[in-house]
Structure 1
Amino acid sequence: MTIEAKTLEATIDIAAAPEQVWPLVADLPGMASRSPQVVRSFQRGDGDVGTTTLNINRSGWKVWPTRSKVIRADAPREFAFRVKDNKTIWSYSLEALPDGGTRVTHRRAAPDGLAPVSARLQDLMMGGLERFDEELLSGMNATLRTIKADAER
């Protein structure tokens, strides 16, 4: 049994070429400095498809691990990984803009539904699926703002 989860999406325009933005979105260990939820990521592999990570996440006093695997790495267009623990797919799509900048879309999808144990934990520990989705979306926007600031330096 799986639980339906809505797709979350955030977008930002960055005044830097996709080739400059790509290293920031594809740097999983570096996400600890860009995402308000990621504390640390331990990467095994070179960042291409098949690379795995062990991630430590935090929300307030709650800390939990997740495991992920890179499923798409099409530089400088798309980077995606699947979180094994809850079956979600997190991705970044980069679109070149006519002015030389990049539109970055950050997405969380659950095409196969959310793992029941993850849904139950979100309900018990995170204030419910809807509230946690709001927190995730807020974090996605914060991550994009940090990527933008880093890319535009």
Structure 2
Amino acid sequence: MPNNLEASIDIAAAPEKVWSVLADLRRMPEFSPTTWKVLALGGVRVGTFTVNVNKDGWRVWPTSSRIVAFEPNKTLAFRMNENRTVWRYELTATAQGTRVVETRVVDPKGIPAPVRAMINTAMGNEQEFEAALVAGMQETLARVKTAAER
């Protein structure tokens, strides 16, 4: 069964600065090692539909999502249409700047069987895929930190 995943980082920048980096979805390929392109159809807000192109080595695949939470300087979340997972960024002010927590939450119904089969066929298996996702989350947050602290 797929797991919920989490990664976090402390950034020496105010939540407003971190938000300006994270909420600019056009920059996501700069941060995420598996995101090649993000196209938000309309402004970035709750309900916005996105089309995404992902890559991992020779593998390239499209996904789509809908923004389900958008609270400036606090929360950005989107639900992946293909696998029903919700990816969330939570920003919390700290004495030194901002703590960012990135999570992937699996829908209570689980990941659809065809998607799980694709993960097990094309991505090794769920455990390897999830380990790669956590590593990617950590890399994404490290890159966001670098950009926000500039």
Task: Note the alpha carbon deviations across 1:81-125, whole angstroms, 9 max, x for none.
Answer: 0000111100100010023x0000011111331121111100000
Task: Note the alpha carbon deviations across 1:14-67, whole angstroms, 9 max, x for none.
Answer: 000001101222222210111000001111021100111110001111110000
Give the TM-score taking structure 2 as reference length. Answer: 0.96
SS at match of 1:85: coil
Structure 1 unpaired stretches of 5+: none
Distance in 1 between residues matched to 2:3 and 2:23, nearest whole Å? 24
Opposite residue 144 of structure 1, the aligned amino acid is L
Tell me what 2:98 maps to.
102
Does 1:151 pair with 2:143? no
SS at match of 1:90: strand
Distance in 1 between residues matched to 2:48 and 2:77, nearest whole Å? 11
Contact 1:5/1:109, CA 8 A, preserved across alignment: no
Opposite residue 103 of structure 2, the aligned amino acid is R
Contact 1:13/1:103, CA 8 A, preserved across alignment: yes
SS at match of 1:127: coil
SS at match of 1:16: coil
Tell me what 1:43 maps to.
40
Runs of 4+ in 1 over 4 A off after TM superposition: none
SS at match of 2:40: strand
Does 1:78 pair with 2:75? yes
* 2:88 corresponds to which of 83, 86, 91: 91
Give the TM-score taking structure 1 as reference length. Answer: 0.94
Percent of aligned positions with the same letter in both sequences? Answer: 40
SS at match of 2:76: strand
Task: Note the alpha carbon deviations across 1:115-147, whole angstroms, 9 max, x for none.
Answer: 211111000000001100011110000000000
Contact 1:53/1:69, CA 8 A, preserved across alignment: yes
Distance in 2 between residues matched to 1:109 and 1:64, nearest whole Å? 21
Does 1:126 pair with 2:133? no
